[in-house]
Amino acid sequence: MIIGLTGGIGSGKSTVARAFETLGVAWVDADDVSREIVLPGEPALIAIKKRFGDQIIHLDGTLNRAALRDIVFKHPEHRQWLESLTHPKIRERLLQHLERLKTQGAPYVLLVSPLLFESGQDALVSRSLVVDVPQALQLSRTLQRDGVSESQVHAILAAQLSREQRLAKADDVIDNSGDHASMLKQVVRLDERYRQLLND
């Protein structure tokens, strides 16, 4: 069984995934895979460099993600082009990782993806789990963590489903606005439920 774990920026998806990991659950992160497919030598990076030029490439040949993000969030047509290039490649690579994890004997696996619904990756999962926090908390956490401007965070939020839309699509929800212990309790409860579903 594949559980899709999603949530807006700064909601704590990775923290929740690591909590599941302590219970023996394997996970693959779409953000990690999105970085993987633009490593030097990868076809996606070659195509991105061809379109945007050397301004989005660091001296060591790696992608300057901040420069690219700045371009695509200012120009919707560039973002559409980038997504049409990268989403199929990310999906293909995710499937490879998920297949590998399935063979390792975990009870179920998590697909952690900020754009689970937006990218159509929810078609790969049996259930969707949304990590939910109020937008003000998303904003403050992201500003502290990522060192980006407030306008960039708002642009990222605008590119994601609204909180209400995400919750409407969720099979399960973890409220991550409280303390760590509260989140862990919810993870343990859901883990028991997922294992039960596997046995039914």
Q: Which residues are annotated as a binding site for ATP?
A: 10-15
- The distance in angstroms from the start CA to the end CA of the chain is 13
Known binding-site positions: 10-15
Task: Record the tokens describing residue 78, joined without a space.
Answer: 């560039």
Amino acid at 81: W
Strand partners, 111: 4, 28
Q: d(Cα 91, Cα 85) in Å, to the nearest integer?
A: 11
Interhelix angle 43-52/76-102, nearest 10 degrees: 170
Tokens for 190?
Answer: 């859901």
DSSP 56: G
CA-to-CA distance for 85 and 66, rounded, in angstroms?
Answer: 18
64: buried, middle or exposed (CB in 10 Å: 19+, 13-18, 0-12)? middle
